[in-house]
Amino acid sequence: MEQPAAAEDEVLMLAWAGGDAAAFEALYRRHRDPLFRFLLGQLRDRPLAEEIYQDVWQRVIAARSGWKPEAAFATWLYRIAHNRLNDHWRAQRHRPPVPLDADLRTAALADPDDPEGLAGRDEERERLQQALDELPDEQREAVLLRLQQELSLEEIGRITGSGRETVKSRLRYALDKLRARLNP
């Protein structure tokens, strides 16, 4: 059963393709934070994540007239992000090292309205980020899409170009590794 927000995304996208600027604003508001968190989780470099984030939205804008509701808008959006990340990694020819201030950058994304809660979770968050950093790229991407974006196995498969069973396997291995790392 399709979620109401997903159905509304398709309606908004069709309205925007027809010239309704407010529809684009609603789509952007709904997806901007989750998309940025996904990119930052993959890149662990805020300025680079911001650059690629802008590029993803520019590609969405450029492709609006040709968009067809063959897949959920979020699936299409994350497929664009996935492809843009792949372009970046190919251009770099290797994954850059984790920035020295990666933990500070990650902590800066947290809710500033709850400093007491943040103070108690810093160590736990750092351990989780280190465990995520140790995962192979494909496993980390699958975990972030599943847990942060709450996408289905099928949606993750469409975004990454992998079969459902491959996604399921990546998630299982990744979660096993995370459990072992976080619960010694």
Which tokens in the block code for residue 144?
């972030």
SS3 content of the chain, % helix, strand, coil (to 5): 80, 0, 20
Instruction: Render pLDDT for 105-158 as a digit per residue (tens, 0 to 9).
Output: 776 665 555 555 555 567 788 888 888 889 999 999 999 999 888 899 999 999
pTM across the whole model = 0.60
Instruction: Render pLDDT for 55-80 as a digit per residue (tens, 0 to 9).
Output: 999 999 998 888 788 888 899 999 99
For the chain, give every domain's residue range.
Answer: 4-182
CA distances from 28 to 6, 21, 50, 117, 156 (A): 13, 11, 15, 29, 20
Contacts of 135 (CB under 8 A, 6+ apart): 143, 174, 177, 178
CATH 1.10.10.10 matches 4-182: no
